[in-house]
Amino acid sequence: MKTTQRITCLLLLLLGTHLFAQTGVKVTYYDGTEQQFNVQPAGKLYFDADNLFVKADAGTTPTTIPVSIIRKVTFSEALGTTTFGQNTDNLVLYPNPASESIRIKSDTSTELKTSIYSLTGQRILQGVFQSGQDIDVSALSAGLYLVQVNGVTIKFSKK
């Protein structure tokens, strides 16, 4: 449970500077389904040991989502009338877990601006990669990391 708490807290730290100006929140589940929220300035997003709570506005009851079923959480600017938070790159990180290298696959030819963070929030690696290009992680200690790719955060486990 502590690992889950650390991952979720780090996710908020990584993206926390963007939360004040952004209101679109998309939760992607391990089964591939997605849930979108439009969080007003009076709303909030918070965690306890096992759950993510999304409170869209001060007067609403929060939506409770078990952290164990969440693959990723992404944020975007105010929704307006545009479609929110579509991961048009369809990013996939593999293998996961990995020991020597990882690859990030994207459906587009867009450069992948990538950063790897430890659970303490320290940036371990940063670079720009192409879809399918090897990213050497052999020097990393075994454990959990967060990989941020073009604004999308993905959990990664190093063996």
Closest CA relative to residue 40, chosen from 13, 60, 70: 60
Tell me the three state secondary structure of residue 27.
strand
Is this prediction's pTM over 0.75? no
- Enumerate domains of the chain plus CATH numbers: 2-77 (2.30.30.100), 92-158 (2.60.40.10)
- Residue 139 has a pLDDT of 95
- pLDDT, tens only, 69-123: 999 888 775 433 333 334 556 888 899 899 999 999 988 888 999 999 887 778 8
Rounded to whole angstroms, how far apart are CA atoms 159 and 153?
20
| Amino acid occupying residue 5 | Q
Both tokens of 21, joined, read: 């100006």
